Amino acid sequence: MTKWVYGFGDGKAEGDANMRDLLGGKGANLAEMSNLGLPVPPGFTITTEVCTYFYAHGRQYPQDLEAEIDAALAHVGKLTGRAFGDADRPLLVSVRSGARASMPGMMDTILNLGLNDKAVEALAREAGDARFAYDSYRRFIQMYSAVVLGLEHHLFEDALEELKSSRGHVQDTDLTAQDWKGLAKSYLSLVERESGKAFPQDPRRQLWGAIGAVFGSWMNARAIKYRELHAIPESWGTAVNVQAMVFGNMGETSATGVAFTRNPSTGEARLYGEFLINAQGEDVVAGIRTPQNLTEAAREEARTDKPSLERAMPSAFAEFKRISEVLEQHYRDMQDMEFTIERGKLWMLQTRNGKRTTRAALKVAVDMTNEGLISRKEAVQRIDPMSLDQLLHPTIDPNAERKLLGTGLPASPGAASGEIVLTSEEAENAKAGGRKVILVRVETSPEDIHGMHAAEGILTARGGMTSHAAVVARGMGKPCVSGFGALRIDPAKSTLSVGKSVLKAGDVITIDGSTGQVLQGKIAMLEPELSGDFAELMSWADEARRLKVRANADTPLDAQTARRFGAEGIGLCRTEHMFFDEGRIVAVREMILADDEKGRRGALAKLLPMQRGDFVELFTIMSGLPVTIRLLDPPLHEFLPHTDEEMKEVAAALGSSVEKLRRRAQELSEFNPMLGFRGCRLAIAYPEIAEMQARAIFEAAVEAAAKTDAPVRPEIMVPLVMTRMEFDLVKARIDAMANAVAAERKAKLSYDVGTMIELPRAALLSGEIAQSAEFFSFGTNDLTQTTLGISRDDAGSFLGTYTAKGILPADPFVTLDQDGVGELVRLAAARGREARPGIKLGICGEHGGDPASVAFCERTGLDYVSCSPYRLPIARLAAAQAALGAIATTEG
Amino acid sequence: MTKWVYGFGDGKAEGDANMRDLLGGKGANLAEMSNLGLPVPPGFTITTEVCTYFYAHGRQYPQDLEAEIDAALAHVGKLTGRAFGDADRPLLVSVRSGARASMPGMMDTILNLGLNDKAVEALAREAGDARFAYDSYRRFIQMYSAVVLGLEHHLFEDALEELKSSRGHVQDTDLTAQDWKGLAKSYLSLVERESGKAFPQDPRRQLWGAIGAVFGSWMNARAIKYRELHAIPESWGTAVNVQAMVFGNMGETSATGVAFTRNPSTGEARLYGEFLINAQGEDVVAGIRTPQNLTEAAREEARTDKPSLERAMPSAFAEFKRISEVLEQHYRDMQDMEFTIERGKLWMLQTRNGKRTTRAALKVAVDMTNEGLISRKEAVQRIDPMSLDQLLHPTIDPNAERKLLGTGLPASPGAASGEIVLTSEEAENAKAGGRKVILVRVETSPEDIHGMHAAEGILTARGGMTSHAAVVARGMGKPCVSGFGALRIDPAKSTLSVGKSVLKAGDVITIDGSTGQVLQGKIAMLEPELSGDFAELMSWADEARRLKVRANADTPLDAQTARRFGAEGIGLCRTEHMFFDEGRIVAVREMILADDEKGRRGALAKLLPMQRGDFVELFTIMSGLPVTIRLLDPPLHEFLPHTDEEMKEVAAALGSSVEKLRRRAQELSEFNPMLGFRGCRLAIAYPEIAEMQARAIFEAAVEAAAKTDAPVRPEIMVPLVMTRMEFDLVKARIDAMANAVAAERKAKLSYDVGTMIELPRAALLSGEIAQSAEFFSFGTNDLTQTTLGISRDDAGSFLGTYTAKGILPADPFVTLDQDGVGELVRLAAARGREARPGIKLGICGEHGGDPASVAFCERTGLDYVSCSPYRLPIARLAAAQAALGAIATTEG
């Protein structure tokens, strides 16, 4: 027979902290505290299975439930010496929901349940305070009517206001016991009038009403929405906690408060909290009265006269301090606690692992490790890798005032302020003039790279989390807000508008790439801090992980950042990013416009020394670490100018005609560039491009090896391979170039040639390809696009609907689609290894910095992940957690 | 020990017809004829393995080869009573290449090898004709020098011309024996002068030179190119045939000729051929002299006086007739033979299965079956399915004169003539005015559908074999030439130019969609003939096949064509094609521009009766057969106008503004529409569209069932599914609509809801999807695009290079990529069946009409293929051949 109800109180409980799934977070912790012998008001938890049953059976309860609840109530009565509806010592209870995960959006608490016209008199007698009793009664009626009976809150507020004004009072405290009693009475008639039924006087009916309301609230719109947003399965259900009331508002020896065992903002290892004398729990959070500090030390720091709990109720405080230490030691984590003191007696109402800032999380984890409370591995598992993003970028001072213009997508974390500029050219000019700017564009293209470099941050009207702007900004570690749909740009007037606000170029704005907010004016920032606890924890993470972590880095600057953030190599150097440099784009365009191979080779010869120079720098910076260089990948039309104006300029610069330029652009234009003439298809059609790049790589390897006196072994990566023969043809060119360079420079070259696996066909045929390829790097961005048939540039139009409806569990460009794309990766890894045991396998692309995706890579046994430099700490920590086989949970 | 040389002659041979791989086609058949006791000049074949050895060993021969050749030569000498270089009876031989497949582009024949200054005298004596002997000698020197020594042909022609003019002669026949002897002598000095070496007088040296030249020619540029184009592996190699010479030019009792056992143009079962008296084989094909008919009957029909062989050499003719019958009976197929009569004695030089027109192939196959020579199954296997295309469309009269403008891609077979029009509107107007037109566009879009319907044929400057124009034209059965890159259109002047030719709208052109030719003026056509042998053979194919064959048909006209061509259902009805109808596009656009669901529903309500009407017609035409209807698939921007002009018109028609239209178009525009907001993504975002379509289908099913008094069970297909949940969401809407219609119409509805498998993810997750989907249709067009990462609209820029280099064995949009896409199909079929045993599996898309792809579908055990109506006969025949487990081979 299923047990539906679990009791607790009086130093023992039927459940414990491990029964979170069954009892919910709150219920499990109440049981655990009882088992620890801590003073918990007795009560019981109705399990989440009742909720599941309830919805599976057309909102009916299991047959045995009523008997179990009656027995549990009787036990609570026995422990408290009270009974429902008892004329002398009525049992009053609170009823609270409590799901497995903390879930705002569900039912509010109902307090004082059990009060009725009789019990209120007994309460008045017992408390010796009729005013308190009737105030409690009318609060209960109001709360119950709103939550259970569905009456509008304001009806009750209106009645209270009416009473006050009829009495000429302003504050609640001015009302007498008689006033409250009268109000309770008028509330009761109000309920009967509005609902057509008398307010239930029978406490058991009240209780069943409240239980029904908790279960009902599991399916209210707010709760459903919250579950959608936080990927909480409907099947989990909620538990209901019924617990004897204790009163923090029974006079000056009563109090209520909340506390953390450590400071949740800084992590400092000192009891931290607030309380109010003669108050109920809601009053602390409601903010009507200013709460007092818990400890003397905190009071002194705050320079306030209001006495601390330590001073005001020293013995209750001492008991609470002892309990807080017991709880932290027991749970081995920082606790967030609620307590009530009823006439000098301390009662614990809740404990859970406390939410904290990233900074605090690091300090708590490191301190607890040093205290011997947890192991280094546990410390590593305690930190949410994604939360590190906060640390790695400047953040807006949480205390600063924000003048919000609107919110776009949080495309690249961090915050930045600067003057509005509307073109990349202006951005560069401003930068040269020492001004800080935010580059504002409808969308960015590769030609904006330099403007993006010059800007403090980027704001775009179009494009999703993986648009060009977003990807490039993340790579640069610059804040970016993308897809800010409300933005209208008028280039003619050099203005932009957001709704009714109009701003002009030169006005200062601030963007917060961590939240997507766009703010007016300059706002105070906090700078990142990468040493101390952060460095300590990262070193423990590095001890724990198996996966290597590399960076996607295209420039020497990227490479330096990557090393600073702990890169163990470069997993993806996109050579095309080097092509957009002002000094080079002319030669690149000359190559594209050339009429024949000879013309192309002429233009490529100009690019060779520049590419070689880049690679020498890269190899030098990364000395001793592997560097994977990808051959030219994007379709050539990306390098051509787009506007008439630019065409004219370029034609003039190249000594060509606008007409020819336009014709070539027309020839190269594509309906679906993502599936077009790019990747190794370029190298097949124009092998001279791959040859130039290979030569640059090999010559640079020789030079860098001489310079650093350390061997350089480049890894050359062929993109967008679909068949083995494609790879073989390109590899043959690379090998030939290696032989040529080796002969010319009289050097011995070691290198690997491998391929991106970024097309489903390549994944399927990986066994064949691995016969030639010396490594695979999974290009999961493109592999996601092709496997799912979703263009990431266009996904914005429906992807939001898809994740909201749960059709996709997450944006597949952020978190790897393990069922689809993941299956191809698993399959390709297996086939690749079968053909070439020990083949090096990595992942590059956005997923390399996503914890869930990193965990997938660990499970699949890849050798490394590669991500943008600013994501490296996340990847390192995620890799460690994946190796340790657990996902961090720090919140209760 | 490997045997390198195989002899034949004198009624026996070491090889036979089955040893084609080793002996090449010619060698195998020479051996076979010898074994049959037919008069074949003795000789031997050097195997293809020698060729393979030759290239694997740096152009060295196997050690034993020389001894084997010497032995074989000795045996030939024994049989002929001759010897190399013999002063009285010199052995003369021909040397010919002979690969497994007939391969033009390789070495020419060398005749009369063995002649030298001595042997020529013996030949003169033996033939009693010095002129003949010296002419033969100088021919040999010329041929050998060109082919083996690599001297330029014109050097010899020049010397001949010089001789003739010095003698005051015009024709070769005017030259005397002395003249030829002198010429031979000057040829010899010419060779010595040009090559620096004397012409080899030693026949063995001559022979080795010729053998080397044959093997060398396997790797010449023309041969490599030919192999590339015809997918012939380099590893096959070629054989060399060395055979004793017989002379058809030894006077008036000698002759040479070629013949077919049946007429290769018509298939008529009568010996058919030509011969020349006193001539060598080349003379028959060279066309200097007009050949004579073989039979008296043919002579009479040709109304010529020149005597037939039957009359001129009755006994040789009788022998030849007998042999031709033996050969046809033996090979059980029409033979293409070469023979020589030397002084009254008949010699067979070659036989092979004869090439024939499709019409002849059908007649031969049907006749031979009726004659009891082959079985019906063999008849079915004898026809190349692709060749049926010729029959199903009008073709240009092969005798008509062609004034070629240029050649594009043969995008949709058949030929058509008409006036040039440059817009779809003009096409429709012209059609309305009774004029025939060719629609000429840079490229077509869905808005051109009506213009394409109105036109006789379509010509585009851009786009490949699977461009919009090509796909739609094939679906309509209209000729189309696409990717005619030389075409420049000047819309302002209403002219088009191709190179230097300028044509204007209204000028008549002819396009040949089977060859890609674009021709000036109107050209005579031949109409298709679908009864008789064709019908008979197709009925045999239908008996043999297992795969069902359905049609991709969007309109009632398509459906009628489909039934005429034997469709067993509709496998794909693309409902969007109905949306472009003039009466509907306005409502479609209204829907797209609507601000909310209500507006969309309003517009959809206007479309409902029209869609229902279409479906009633479709179901009625297809009564008793399954009809699969796909929900709206293309991105919505395809329905919006593109030019400013059109925008204005549309805005006016809709009572909207151009600005709004432009904004919406901008919102909907995509970087990669192929991977964009389309397929079931539309149905998820705007379920009301799917609902309208489902309602139209169900209401039409009820109406058509009543009308035809036969049940209608529609199959509704959800496109571009990626996850099961997507499918479930759309299916729920369809089911709800079915229930609604069933209730309203008081009808019982049966239907299936299935999905396209056209994304790799859907293929991988097909096990899950099949839990909900009742059938799968593999959308191999899109599956190819995503699996290979190739946009078919853009593939033209590199796909040609890819197939030419053998990176892809064929255009993957024409022939299914079995290794990549095919693996996904196999996998999805297996997983789908595991989840839902007996799930119906089909393929729709271009591959459904491609024989190799149909064979794949048979091997994979799919239930049906679906293709455009005009491809149905091809699919039916291909399905039959696939079931019979063999690919047709009709050519030798």
Smallest CA–CA separation between B215 and chain A, in Å?
A: 26
User: How many Cα atoms occupy the beta-carbon half-sphere of B25 within 13 Å?
Assistant: 13
Inter-axis angle of helices B597-621 and B556-564, nearest 10 = 30
Sorted by sequence, the CB contacts under 8 Å of residue B708 that are 6+ apart come out as B619, B620, B623
Sorted by sequence, the CB contacts under 8 Å of residue A717 that are 6+ apart come out as A572, A628, A629, A630, A631, A753, A754, A755, A756, A775, A777
Helix (H, G, I), strand (E, B) or coil at B503: strand
Helix (H, G, I), strand (E, B) or coil at A679: coil
Residues 646 through 685 of chain A touching chain B, CB cutoff 8 Å: 667-668, 670-677, 679, 681, 684-685
This model of the complex carries an ipTM of 0.81
Inter-axis angle of helices A644-654 and A658-668, nearest 10 = 110
Is the pLDDT higher at A448 or at A707?
A707
Under an 8 A CB cutoff, do A819 and B787 touch? Answer: no
C-alpha–C-alpha distance, residues A246 and A345, integer Å:
10
Percent of chain A whose pLDDT exceeds 70: 98
Is the pLDDT higher at A734 or at A398?
A734
- With bands split at pLDDT 50, 70 and 90, how would you rate the model's confidence at B887? very low
Q: Which two tokens stand for residue B74?
A: 């000795």
Under an 8 A CB cutoff, do A722 and B673 touch? Answer: no
B808 in contact with A, Cβ within 8 Å = yes
Q: Which two tokens stand for residue A654?
A: 């190249």
pLDDT at B688: 97
Q: Which two tokens stand for residue B244?
A: 């004793």
Q: Is a pLDDT exceeding 50 seen at residue B270?
A: yes
* Identified catalytic residue from B480, B680, B844, B867: B844
Under an 8 A CB cutoff, do A729 and B794 touch? Answer: no
Mean pLDDT, residues B490-517: 90
Residues 707 through 746 of chain A touching chain B, CB cutoff 8 Å: 720, 722-723, 725-726, 729
**Per-residue model confidence as pLDDT tens digits over A515-568:** 899 999 999 888 777 779 999 999 999 999 999 999 999 989 899 999 999 999
Q: Which two tokens stand for residue B460?
A: 């585009």
Q: Report the range of poorest mean pLDDT among A45-49, A145-149, A186-190, A580-584.
A: A580-584
Torsion, CA A409, CA A412, CA A417, CA A423, rounded to 10: -80
* Identified catalytic residue from B51, B75, B393, B468: B468
Chain position carrying tokens 């190794």: A680
Sorted by sequence, the CB contacts under 8 Å of residue B686 that are 6+ apart come out as B597, B600
C-alpha–C-alpha distance, residues A676 and B409, integer Å:
20
Best mutation site among B726, B790, B817 for testing chain A: the one with the most A CBs within 10 Å? B790
| Strand spans (E) along A10-87 | 12-13, 43-46
Smallest CA–CA separation between B760 and chain A, in Å?
A: 5
Mean pLDDT, residues B620-632: 97
A109, A101 in Cβ contact below 8 A? Answer: no
Mean pLDDT across chain A:
92
**Per-residue model confidence as pLDDT tens digits over A618-659:** 999 999 999 999 999 999 999 998 788 888 888 888 888 888
pLDDT at A470: 83
pLDDT at A288: 65
B491, B383 in Cβ contact below 8 A? Answer: no
Nearest CB to A790 within list B675, B764, B765: B675
Best mutation site among B442, B637, B672, B756 for testing chain A: the one with the most A CBs within 10 Å? B672
Helix (H, G, I), strand (E, B) or coil at B380: helix
User: How many Cα atoms occupy the beta-carbon half-sphere of B396 within 13 Å?
Assistant: 27
Mean pLDDT, residues B786-808: 89
Under an 8 A CB cutoff, do A681 and B785 touch? Answer: no
Mean pLDDT, residues A868-876: 93
C-alpha–C-alpha distance, residues B787 and A786, integer Å:
7
pLDDT at B90: 96
Q: Is a pLDDT exceeding 70 seen at residue B892?
A: no
Q: Report the range of poorest mean pLDDT among A107-111, B357-361, B824-828.
A: A107-111
C-alpha–C-alpha distance, residues B519 and B539, integer Å:
37
Chain B residue with minimum CA distance to A807: B725
Q: DSSP letter at A326?
A: H
pLDDT at B647: 86
Best mutation site among A638, A681, A758 for testing chain B: the one with the most B CBs within 10 Å? A681
**Per-residue model confidence as pLDDT tens digits over B285-311:** 666 677 899 999 999 988 888 999 999
Q: Measured between beta carbons, which residues in chain A are less than 8 angstroms from residue B720?
A: 789
Q: Which of A768, A803, A784, A807 is nearest to A856 (CA)?
A: A784
C-alpha–C-alpha distance, residues A785 and A793, integer Å:
10
pLDDT at B287: 60
Look up B844 and say whether it is catalytic: yes
C-alpha–C-alpha distance, residues A80 and A86, integer Å:
12
Q: Report the range of poorest mean pLDDT among A226-235, B18-27, B534-543, B842-851.
A: A226-235
C-alpha–C-alpha distance, residues B459 and B437, integer Å:
11
pLDDT at A34: 97
Q: Which two tokens stand for residue A478?
A: 């610059």
Q: Is a pLDDT exceeding 70 seen at residue B192?
A: yes
- With bands split at pLDDT 50, 70 and 90, how would you rate the model's confidence at A285? low
C-alpha–C-alpha distance, residues A171 and A196, integer Å:
31
Under an 8 A CB cutoff, do B759 and A789 touch? Answer: yes
Look up A468 and say whether it is catalytic: yes
Q: Is a pLDDT exceeding 80 seen at residue A390?
A: no
Burial of B583 (0-12, 13-18, 19+ CB in 10 A): exposed
Smallest CA–CA separation between B808 and chain A, in Å?
A: 8
Number of other CB atoms surrounding residue B497 within 10 Å: 16
Percent of chain B whose pLDDT exceeds 70: 98
Torsion, CA B844, CA B846, CA B851, CA B854, rounded to 10: -20
C-alpha–C-alpha distance, residues B815 and B61, integer Å:
39
Mean pLDDT across chain B:
92
B751, B775 in Cβ contact below 8 A? Answer: no
Q: Is a pLDDT exceeding 90 seen at residue B528?
A: no
Q: Is a pLDDT exceeding 70 seen at residue A888?
A: no
- With bands split at pLDDT 50, 70 and 90, how would you rate the model's confidence at A170? confident
Alpha helices (runs of H) in B595-686, residue ranges in sequence order: 597-621, 644-654, 658-668, 680-685
Smallest CA–CA separation between B861 and chain A, in Å?
A: 21
Q: Is a pLDDT exceeding 50 seen at residue B667?
A: yes
Q: Is a pLDDT exceeding 90 seen at residue A491?
A: no
A65, A50 in Cβ contact below 8 A? Answer: yes
Chain position carrying tokens 């009507």: A288
A874, A385 in Cβ contact below 8 A? Answer: yes
pTM for the predicted model, two decimal places:
0.82
B794 in contact with A, Cβ within 8 Å = yes
Under an 8 A CB cutoff, do A789 and B722 touch? Answer: yes
Torsion, CA A96, CA A101, CA A106, CA A112, rounded to 10: 10
Helix (H) or strand (E) run with residue A754 in it: strand A752-757
